Amino acid sequence: MNLKDFFIGMSQNQFLNSAAKKYGLKLGAQTVVAGTNIQDMIQSVKDLNNNGISATIDNLGEFVFEEEEALKAKEQILEVIEAIHTNKVDAHISLKPTQLGLDIDYEFCKQNLKEIASKAKEYDIFINFDMEDYGHLKPSFDLIDELSVEFDNIGTVIQAYFYESVKNIEKYKDYRLRIVKGAYKESESVAFQDKKDIDQNFLKLIEYHLLSGKFTSIATHDHRVINHVKEFVKENNIPLEKFEFQMLFGFRKDLQLELAREGYNFCTYVPFGDDWYGYYMRRLAERPQNINLAVKQVFNKKTNTVLGVAAGAFVLGRLTKKKNKK
């Protein structure tokens, strides 16, 4: 098992997810999560706005299996929408259908999403439906299809590692789309496994939607992709108002500010809440270079923590594997 697979596996561990909530953001996650409450999150968004950067806000949580928990998430997101409106910040919402009951009942989830989209439309706030693992792909697109009949303030995500992403981006070209590489571990029967193939498809999707689509959010921390996009939009006379770059809160802050100062639309993905564990583990899987920072913060204060246990388990597993090979 490589480092990426290890942290993706950890992101799906429900026991550790529950334990992580007890520790708050003491595991290094405070560097990439904008607090556990709306007040802290709004202050982070205001700081971004002051630097010419907009935000998409994610009330963290996913794979919910109890109606009570889904309804609680819905109410929290409605409060976030009110907070965006009241504080007049430049921000919109990102949400995951599984947090709002997709694994409980499709119609129940749709009603929750309908309430959110309706409230957001009242304040002219955009709602982005995050895409999750392959098992939830079709029902999530079905929700988009049904709700877009009534609402024009919704969009979604296209994940470049899926084979069917080209078909989907063509189908949803008239939507505002965020294009990403993909953050879940998927089977080779449905997704590219080689980084080179994913990168190539990522650029293909970006170029297609820049030329043929409505509005493109390019979610990447890769300066090579960013430089490619800069050249592509210049060569094809694509106006700046047709796209934005997106990065995650807490990552490559200098580059975020640099792009905003160069005049590009820039949006930071701002996660908050106490259900941060799965999100954080996937960020470590995507960017292993951040593990050193996280582990350093953990062991400075507490060794008996979720990430401490995770890091220890990984090291022990690697050592055992090497020993068995001898």
pLDDT of residue 12: 59
Answer for the pair 202, 181: CB distance below 8 angstroms, yes or no.
yes
- Judge whether 69 lies within some domain: yes
DSSP 8-state code for residue 27: T
pLDDT of residue 88: 98
3 state SS for 219-233: ECCCHHHHHHHHHHH
Pairing of strands 54-59, 127-129: unpaired
pLDDT of residue 61: 83
pLDDT of residue 26: 56
Vertex 196: Cα angle to 11 and 163 (nearest 5): 70
Vertex 271: Cα angle to 220 and 225 (nearest 5): 5
Q: Is 58 a catalytic residue?
A: no
Give the three-state DSSP class for 163: coil
pLDDT of residue 297: 45
**Active-site residue (options: 130, 199, 282, 283):** 130
Distances from the Cα of 77 to the Cα of 74, 80, 83, 118, angstroms: 5, 5, 10, 12
Q: Which residues of the chain have pLDDT under 50?
A: 293, 296-309, 311-324, 326
Pairing of strands 154-159, 176-180: parallel
pLDDT of residue 18: 58
- Judge whether 265 lies within some domain: yes
pLDDT of residue 320: 40
Pairing of strands 176-180, 215-219: parallel
- Judge whether 201 lies within some domain: yes
Which residue range is the domain that position 198 belongs to?
34-275
- Judge whether 205 lies within some domain: yes
Give the three-state DSSP class for 288: helix
Q: What is the CATH number of the domain that holds 151?
A: 3.20.20.220
Answer for the pair 70, 101: CB distance below 8 angstroms, yes or no.
yes
Cα atoms in the Cβ-side hemisphere of radius 13 Å centred on 107: 0
**Active-site residue (options: 58, 103, 176, 178):** 178
Q: What are the residues whose beta carbons fall under 8 Å from the beta carbon of 241, sequence distance 6 or more?
A: 265
In angstroms, the CA 36 to CA 142 distance is 31
pLDDT of residue 192: 97
- Judge whether 291 lies within some domain: no
- Judge whether 209 lies within some domain: yes
Q: What are the residues whose beta carbons fall under 8 Å from the beta carbon of 311, sequence distance 6 or more?
A: 291, 295, 298
- Judge whether 228 lies within some domain: yes
Nearest residue to 183 via CA among 213, 157, 145: 157
Q: Is 178 a catalytic residue?
A: yes
pLDDT of residue 317: 44
pLDDT digits (tens, 9 = 90+) for 26-42: 555 667 789 889 999 99
Instruction: Strands of the chain (E only): list them.
Output: 54-59, 91-95, 127-129, 154-159, 176-180, 215-219, 243-248, 266-272
Domain count, the chain: 1
pLDDT of residue 3: 58
Q: What are the residues whose beta carbons fall under 8 Å from the beta carbon of 18, sequence distance 6 or more?
A: none
Q: What are the residues whose beta carbons fall under 8 Å from the beta carbon of 93, sequence distance 6 or more?
A: 56, 57, 58, 77, 80, 81, 84, 116, 120, 125, 126, 127, 128
